[in-house]
Amino acid sequence: MFSASIVRWFWLIPLVALLSTASCSSNKRSKGSRSERTANVSRNGSASIDAFVKEWEGVPYRYGGTSKAGVDCSGFVGALYRQVYQKELPRTTAALASSSKPVGKSALEEGDLVFFDMQGKKKSHVGVYLNAGSFVHASTSKGVIVSDLNNPYYQAAFSSGARP
C-alpha cells in the first residue's frame, strides 16, 4: 500500500513528464573544445555578438528561464536580441517562427534565427545563426553552446531559417 506522502506527490509525475518534453530540446553535444567553438564565432561575427556569446556560454538550461541563472532557447534568443540588436522579440519559439520572415539555409546571415524540429515537434527549438555554419542556442543538456549546422544531428533536425 502506498504511503500518504507518496500519493500526495504522485500528481507531479505527469507534470514533470510534460515539462521534460516541452520545446527547446537539444541533447546532442557540439564537437570541439570551447576555445575552438568560440574561435568560430569571431571569424566574421561582430564584436558585440561575439562578446555576448562568450558572456553567456555555459549558462545552464532552465525551462522558462530568461536570465544567466538559467535560460531556455527562446529566452536566450530574446536576451541576445535585446542586448546585441536592441530589439524585443516574441517570447516563445512558436511566436518567433510565426512572426519572422523565412530565409533559406544558404542565405543565412549573422543574427538570423534557425529553427529545429525536435522530438517530433515542428519548430520546437530555436537558435541564432553566427557565421560559417555556426549557431548559438540553449541546449537542454549543455546550456548555452555554439554548435555547427553541418553536424549530422542538426542537419537532420533543421527546419528553417528566419529573419525577425
The catalytic site residues sit at: 73, 125, 137
124 touches 74 (CB < 8 A): no
CA 58, 61, 67, 72 dihedral sign is positive
Q: How far is the C-alpha of 124 from the C-alpha of 97, rounded, in Å?
A: 9
Question: Integer distance in angstroms from the first to the last C-alpha of the chain?
Answer: 55
Cell 553541418 locates to: 150
Q: How far is the C-alpha of 49 from the C-alpha of 39, rounded, in Å?
A: 13
Listed in sequence order, the DSSP H helices in 86-163 are 93-99, 152-157
Listed in sequence order, the DSSP H helices in the chain are 4-9, 12-20, 34-42, 47-56, 73-85, 93-99, 152-157
